[in-house]
Amino acid sequence: MSQLSPVDDTFRARLRALLPEKALREDMDPYVQELRGAYRGRAGMVVAPGSTEEVSSVLAAANEARVAVVPYGGGTGLVAGQVMPEGPAPLILSLERMTRIRRVDAEENVITADAGVVVEELHRAAEGVNRLFPLSFGAQGSARIGGALASNAGGLNVLRYGNTRELCLGIEAVLADGRVMHTLTRLRKDNTGYDLRNLMVGSEGTLGVITGAALKLFSRPTRRATAMLVVPSPAAALKLLALARDHAGEQISGFELISGESFRFLEATLPDIRRPFHPAPDWMVLTEVGLSGTGDAEGMMAGILEAAFEAELVTDGVIAQSEAQADELWHLREAIPEANRAIGAISSHDIALPLSALPEFIEEGTAKLADLGPYRLNCFGHLGDGNLHYNVFPPAGEAKADHMGAKRAIMDLVHDLVAGYDGSFSAEHGVGRLKVEDLERYGDPVKLEMMRGIKRLFDPNGILNPGAVLRAED
């Protein structure tokens, strides 16, 4: 691989000649910051092309000049995939001007959009034709669909509708040398060769720049019933999920685990958010069924609850009596990350486990952490997907700064344990730059070798998001 060069005046002049004035961004500061403040990126220039053709010429120029390119969506990634703190000053390629919804096919349940469309805009466009675009996560008001695809974002609706990957039918992407892969089909079935769409999805900007996508829409569930339930243990929560599925099949829209610690953190940092159950129970589940047509969602939820009480899987619970109450329960769930940030975690983990291993993992993890020190643990998240946010905090009353020395030990403890249960050290956030070492440590070595080969094939000069996912090669 050839050496990368920093953006220099010659390169800047080259891009200024290629792009219209409005594609140039003078203020580079917003693009080098990162939500959690753990990284600060470098930048030699920021451009925001307005079309696939412009993205293509920018990449061709960067590839020729061996200038690193950091593709940039909404900047909401949590693993530093969008900031490059080391190496020769890169070009930041923002998709913020590619915000056209290309077409909405309501009858066929497809929306086709530029990569720069904000996720929430897709929600609105779908709503406009009485459809649902289900991708839903905290940052949906600023995250762009190209970034969500590049990182295969998850969120609150994965249980029912899948990750971003499963929502994508076709993709248009520009390769490192500027060639455009025109595979933006709206087809539900297409067995014509290797699946390069899914190779691009989740590649975190290291194999190409996604410029457009065709995405699935769904019928809007018109009746929903939402409940927050107290469960005796995570094992009971899993049995409750199986029971709920026997009643409702795929119509369970959400199944979130909430810990007592979540409630205590909310009480301490966001006391205005109303919480049911006092004192806070150890474990709760927030669940929702969503039905189409004239289905009786409340009756279904009542049936689930009755059976669950009978089976002693639930000991207490509230069912939302109005849309406002349902929204309030979801708001509580969505506020947990904010409470966590206010408390300040020593180490946060976005892990996945085989569902049946979850209860044992939680038990063993809690015991092993206690051996390490009197840390507080907030373990919550997308239980139905086997995806926990497993965050470790300093003891009550102590400062985070005094415990950062334990971060690596905590992280290794958690990730080693996860690996022992055949789990994943990154369920939905990706690898980015934060977890490159974890991938090297826990990834299958043959898969890693083939990944490196694919990186060299798609990006022989290594210009695309160097250092993300895979260590930059010399």
Q: In the range 387-416, which residues lie near a second copy by CB under 8 A?
A: 387
Q: Per CB under 8 A, which of residues 1..20 are in contact with a second copy?
A: none
Q: Per CB under 8 A, which of residues 326..385 are in contact with a second copy?
A: 352-356, 382, 385
Given a contact cutoff of 8 angstroms between Cβ atoms, the answer to whether 50 and 96 are in contact is: no
Which lies closer to a second copy via its Cβ, residue 193 or residue 279? 193
* CB-based contacts of 300, cutoff 8 Å, min separation 6: 225, 247, 248, 251, 289, 291
Q: Per CB under 8 A, which of residues 232..251 are in contact with a second copy?
A: 238-239, 242, 245-251
Take residue 278 and report the two structure tokens written for it: 């006092």
Q: Is 422 in the site for a second copy (CB under 8 A)?
A: yes
What single-letter amino acid sits at 355? L
Interacting residue with a second copy among 59, 201, 286, 336 (CB under 8 A): 201
Coil vs helix vs strand at 383: helix
Q: Is 289 in the site for a second copy (CB under 8 A)?
A: no
Which lies closer to a second copy via its Cβ, residue 306 or residue 323? 306
Take residue 72 and report the two structure tokens written for it: 């940039």
Take residue 264 and report the two structure tokens written for it: 């205590």
Take residue 32 and report the two structure tokens written for it: 């080098």
Interacting residue with a second copy among 46, 135, 158, 167 (CB under 8 A): 158
Q: At what angle do helices 52-65 and 9-18 cross, to 10 degrees?
A: 160
Interacting residue with a second copy among 37, 193, 279, 397 (CB under 8 A): 193
By CB under 8 A, how many residues form the interface with a second copy? 95
Q: Which stretch binds a second copy (CB under 8 A): 7-15, 190-198, 316-324, 396-404?
A: 190-198
Q: Is 429 in the site for a second copy (CB under 8 A)?
A: yes
What is the distance between the alpha carbons of residues 197 and 189, in angstroms, rounded to a whole number? 13
Residues in contact with a second copy, shown as a per-residue x/- string from 261 to 280 under the rule CB under 8 A:
--------------------
Given a contact cutoff of 8 angstroms between Cβ atoms, the answer to whether 228 and 333 are in contact is: no
Q: Per CB under 8 A, which of residues 45..104 are in contact with a second copy?
A: none
Number of H helices, E strands in the chain: 16, 18
* CB-based contacts of 80, cutoff 8 Å, min separation 6: 34, 38, 39, 432, 433, 434, 468
Q: Per CB under 8 A, which of residues 295..324 are in contact with a second copy?
A: 295, 300, 303
Which lies closer to a second copy via its Cβ, residue 162 or residue 276? 162
Smallest gap from residue 162 Cβ to a second copy (A): 8
Q: Is 427 in the site for a second copy (CB under 8 A)?
A: yes
Interacting residue with a second copy among 122, 207, 280, 301 (CB under 8 A): 207
Take residue 67 and report the two structure tokens written for it: 């200038």
Smallest gap from residue 248 Cβ to a second copy (A): 6
Given a contact cutoff of 8 angstroms between Cβ atoms, the answer to whether 6 and 89 are in contact is: yes
